[in-house]
Amino acid sequence: MKRRTFLAVSGVVPAVFGSCARQARPYPGRDIKLVVQAAPGGLSDTVSRVIASQMEPSLGVPVVCENKPGAAGALAFSFVSRKPADGYTLGHAPVELAILKTLGYTSVTPETVDPLCLVSKTRPVLVVRAASDAASFPALVDALRKRPGYYIAGNSGTGSIWHLNTLLMEQALQLKLVHVPFGGSSASITNLMGGHIDLAVMGVGEALPQIRAGSLRALAVFDVDRTPLLAETPSVAELGHSFGAVAWSGFFAPKGIPDEARQRLQPAFRAAFDSALFQEVCQERAMEPVYLDSQEFSQFARQQAAFFATRVPSLLGVGA
C-alpha cells in the first residue's frame, strides 16, 4: 500500500512541476499572430507585414500575419478583442477602430482594447483633374457654391475616412455635392481622370503619383499644416478653415494584456518603426512615420473616437 501511494505521488509531482515550468516560460514562448483587417496587398497589409518582420529579431519568435477582411474592419477587430489577452494575438489598428462603433458595425473601440503603438499618419488631400477650371481651393469652393448639387465627389466607400473628410468639408463650408462611392481610392482616381466625377478626397500617398505625373491637381490638404510631400499645396487652416481628419495606422491587443508582454512588445514595435525598411516603405507609400507609445496612442485613439462619435451622426444621419 505504501509503495503504491509513493508511486502515485511521485507521478503527480513531475506533472505539477512540469505544468508550472510551462506556465513560467518567459514571453514570448511561441509564434505571435498579427491580424490584419484588410485584404492582402493593400496599405494596411503592407504596413502590418513590414512591422511584423522587423519585430521578429527583437522578440526571437515569428510574428505571423493573418488577413481577416470584412465589414470595414469590424470582423478583424471583433476577432482579436475576443482572444485571450496573453500577447499572442495582436491586431492592426487603422483609423476605423475609432469610427466603426458609431456606424453600428461593432462594439469594439479604443477603450475596449489595449492600444499598443501608432506608426504612421496619412493626410487627406482634395484633388481635381489637371485640366479643371478650378486652379485653387477658393476657386473650387466658389464654383461649388454657385451650382449646389451639380458637382460630383468620388470617395473610397460610404463611411470611409475619405468620405467623412468630404462630408466635413461640405458641412463646414455649407456646400452641396453629389457623392459617389467606389471600392477604393484607385477607382476614384480612374473616374476622376476619365471625367466621370469632378473631385475626390483621398490619402496624399494615393494621389501623389498622378499629381507628380501632371494628371491631377492638388488643391488643399485637410490638416493644420502643409505636408512635406506636397510642399506647394496649402492646408485648409492656411485658407481660413478648420476641418479634416487624418488616417492613421497602429496596433492593438485584447484588453488586459500582461505587463510582461507589453514590456517585450513595446521595444519590438519601436525597433520595427525605426528600421530602414519601414522608413523606406513610408517614403515609397507617402505615409508620414509618426510613433506614439502605448499611453500616447491610447489617449490619441480615444480622442479620435470621441470626435467621430460627435461628428459622424450629423454627417451620415446615423444614431449616436
Find out whether 92 and 55 touch, Cβ atoms under 8 Å.
no
What is the pLDDT at residue 15? 47
CA atoms within 13 A on the CB side of 270: 9
What is the pLDDT at residue 83? 98
CATH number of the domain located at residue range(s) 32-122+247-316 in this protein: 3.40.190.150
> Is-same-fold flag (32-122+247-316; 124-230)?
yes
**Does 6 score more than 50 pLDDT?**
no
Give per-residue burial for 208-244: e unless 16+ CB within 10 Å, then b.
bebbeeebbbbbbbbbeebbebbeebbbbbeeebebb
141-191 pLDDT, tens per residue?
A: 999 999 999 999 998 888 889 999 999 999 999 999 999 998 778 889 999
pLDDT bracket for residue 18 (50, 70, 90): very low
User: Mean per-residue pLDDT for 119-148?
Assistant: 97
Give the closest residue to 159 by CA, choosing from 100, 200, 201, 109.
100
What is the pLDDT at residue 8? 46
pLDDT bracket for residue 9 (50, 70, 90): very low
Rounded Cα–Cα distance for residues 3 and 237 (Å): 85
> What value does the mean pLDDT of the chain take?
91
**Does 238 score more than 70 pLDDT?**
yes
What is the pLDDT at residue 89? 98
pLDDT bracket for residue 318 (50, 70, 90): low
What is the pLDDT at residue 284? 87
What is the pLDDT at residue 132? 96
**Does 10 score more than 90 pLDDT?**
no
Rounded Cα–Cα distance for residues 302 and 197 (Å): 35
Give this prediction's pTM: 0.84
**Does 12 score more than 80 pLDDT?**
no
DSSP string, 216-270: EEEEEESSSS--GGGTTSPBTTTTT------EEEEEEEETT--HHHHHHHHHHHH
What is the pLDDT at residue 70? 87
Residue type, 267: P
Give how far Cα 294 sits from Cα of 79, 94, 245, 251, Å.
21, 15, 21, 9
pLDDT above 70 as % of the chain:
92
What is the pLDDT at residue 161? 93
Q: Under CATH, what is the fold of the domain 124-230?
A: D-Maltodextrin-Binding Protein; domain 2 (3.40.190)
Q: Where are the domains of the chain?
A: 32-122+247-316, 124-230
> What is the distance, to the nearest Å, from the Cα of residue 160 to the centroid of all Cα atoms in its chain?
11
What is the pLDDT at residue 21? 42
User: Mean per-residue pLDDT for 42-63?
Assistant: 95
What is the pLDDT at residue 5? 46
User: Mean per-residue pLDDT for 286-298?
Assistant: 95
**Does 13 score more than 50 pLDDT?**
no
What is the pLDDT at residue 24? 60
What is the pLDDT at residue 71? 86
Cβ neighbors of 112 (< 8 A, separation 6 or more) are 81, 255
pLDDT above 90 as % of the chain:
81
**Does 101 score more than 80 pLDDT?**
yes
**Does 113 score more than 60 pLDDT?**
yes
**Does 207 score more than 90 pLDDT?**
yes
